[in-house]
Amino acid sequence: MRDVFNLTCDLIARPSVTPDDAGCQQLIADRLKRLGFACETLQFGSVTNLWACAGDSGPLTVFAGHTDVVPTGPEAQWVSPPFAPTVRDGRLYGRGAADMKASIAAFVVACERLAGTKAPAGRIALLLTSDEEGPAIDGTVKVCSELTARGIRPDHCIVGEPTSAASLGDMIKNGRRGSLSGRLVVRGIQGHVAYPHLARNPVHQLAPALATLSMIRWDEGNEFFPPTTWQVSNIHAGTGAGNVIPATATLDFNFRFSTASTPEALRTRVHRVLDDAGLEYELDWTLGGEPFLTPRGSLSAALDESIHEVTGRRCELSTTGGTSDGRFIAKICPQVIEFGPPNGSIHKIDEHVAVDDLEPLAQIYKRTLERLGHAPITENA
C-alpha cells in the first residue's frame, strides 16, 4: 500500500523546475503503457506535454496536472534538500510534494488498480504539462487546441491541484476567477518643484482617478463567486531627486473577476474613468485567464460521494484562489473540477504533504472513476 508514496518520492526526486520536466512524464508514460494507455509526447518549444489515453469509446474522463514545480528558493533554508524526498513527523517533504506530484502519483496508482476490473466501458486520459507554473503558453492551452483539432472533447476533467484546506477532501474547486492585469502610464511634463506652473504632475493627475477606481463596486458576484476585486500591485514615479516633478507615473493593477463580469466590460469602465479624468495615458492589458464555473453535476457528485466514503467528510464547493489550467480545459470540457491534497505549504520552503493522505487520495480518484462508469484498462504487463 506504499505505491502512491513511492511514486510520489520518485517524482519529487526529479528537479522539474518549470519548464523542465526532468523525466517525470516519461516515468509516468512507462507505467501507463503497461496498462494499455497510448502515450504521446507533445512538444511545444521547451515545454513537454503528455497525452495518454486508454479506451476506444464511451465517455472520456481526463486527469489533468503539471509535472513542473516552482523554484525552491534558498535551499539553505530547507531542513532537508528540496529534491530529496524526506519523511519527518508523518509528512513527506520536497518541492512539488503537494503541488502537485502527490496528485499525479495517486491518479496513476488509481488507474493501475482499475486494471482488469469489469466496470462499464469508457475512456480515461491523462493530460500533463511542464508549463503550468511558468507562462502557460506552450502547455495545456496548446494541448487543448490540438485535442480540439482532433475532435476530442472530454466529458469530465479532474485537475489535481491542491484544493483541500485543513483536511483532505474538505474543499474542491468547481471554478476559478479570471485574472485581468493592466499597466497604466500617465504622462505629464517634467519640471522643477518650485515652478509647478511650468510642469504637469502625473501623480497629482492620477490621484483622483485612482481614488475613483478603488471605490467602484464592479459587480455583486453570484452564488459561487465573490464580487470582482481591483487591486493596485505597483506604483512608480519620479527620478529619485526630491526637487523634480516626474514626467510619468506608472501603475500596475489586477482584476480578479467572476462570471458576473467580462474582460471587455471591465476594460471599458476603466477607460471611462481615465478619460473622464482628462489624463494623457497609455494602458496595456493582459488577460491572464478567464473565469470558469462548473455547476453541480455528475462529476462533483461523484467526487463528493467518493470523498465521503473514504474520509467521512463532505466537501465544500469553492472558487477561491488563483488561476489554474482548468481555465483552458473548461473551454473544451463541460465539467471541470479541481481536487487534491491540502495546500497550506505550496510554493513555500519545506513544502510537504501528509503521508497518511496519499493512500486515501488514490482511493478517492479510483472510486470517482468507478462512479463515473470508467474502467477501460486491460493490463498488458
Q: Helix or strand or coil: residue 56?
A: coil
Residue 378 has pLDDT above 80, yes or no: no
Is 156 labeled as ligand-binding? no
Band of residue 381 on the pLDDT scale cut at 50, 70, 90: very low
The percent of the chain in helix, strand and coil, each rounded to the nearest 5, is: 30, 25, 40
Q: How far apart are CA 157 and CA 124, in angstroms?
A: 10
Q: All 3 cell numbers of residue 223?
A: 452564488
Alpha-carbon distance 144 to 56, whole Å? Answer: 19
Mean pLDDT, the chain, whole residue set = 95
Phi then psi dihedrals of residue 78, to 5 deg: -75, 140
Instruction: Read off the pLDDT of residues 122-164 as tens digits, 9 standing for 90 and up.
Output: 899 999 999 999 999 999 999 999 999 999 999 999 999 999 9
Side by side, the strands of the sheet bearing 156-159 are 38-44, 47-54, 123-129, 60-66, 156-159, 336-338, 171-173, 316-318
What is the distance between the alpha carbons of residues 321 and 371, in angstroms, rounded to a whole number? 28
DSSP 137-185: SSSHHHHHHHHHHTT---SEEEE----BSSSTTSEEESEE-EEEEEEEE
* Residue in 132, 290, 350, 357 annotated catalytic: 132
CB 112 within 8 A of CB 126: no
Q: Which residues contact 197 (CB under 8 A, 6 or more apart)?
A: none
CATH architecture entry for 178-289? 2-Layer Sandwich (3.30)
Query: Any idea which of 12-16, 49-53, 375-379 has the lowest mean pLDDT?
Result: 375-379
Tell me the C-alpha distance between 284 and 299, whole Å: 38
Q: Has 347 been labeled as part of a binding site?
A: yes
Domain assignments of the chain as residue spans, ordered by start: 3-176+291-371, 178-289
Report d(CA 189, CA 202) in Å as an integer. Answer: 8
Given the residues 68, 112, 131, 138, the one annotated as active site? 68
pLDDT at 35 over 70: yes
Q: Which of 352, 332, 327 is nearest to 132 (CA)?
A: 327
Known binding residue 155? Answer is: no
Known catalytic residue: 132?
A: yes
- pTM score above 0.95: no
340 has a pLDDT exceeding 50 = yes
Ligand-binding site membership of 66 (annotated)? yes
Residue type, position 169, single letter:
G
* Residue 259 burial (CB count, 10 A): 19
pLDDT confidence of residue 321:
86
Please say if 146 is a catalytic residue. no
Say how far residue 110 (Cα) sits from the centre of its chain: 22
Q: How confident is the model at residue 323 (pLDDT cuts 50, 70, 90)?
A: confident
d(CA 175, CA 183): 27
CATH code reported for the domain at 3-176+291-371: 3.40.630.10
117 band by pLDDT with thresholds 50, 70 and 90: low
What single-letter amino acid sits at 91? R
Q: State how far the alpha carbon of 282 is from the alpha carbons of 212, 278, 375, in Å.
A: 18, 13, 55
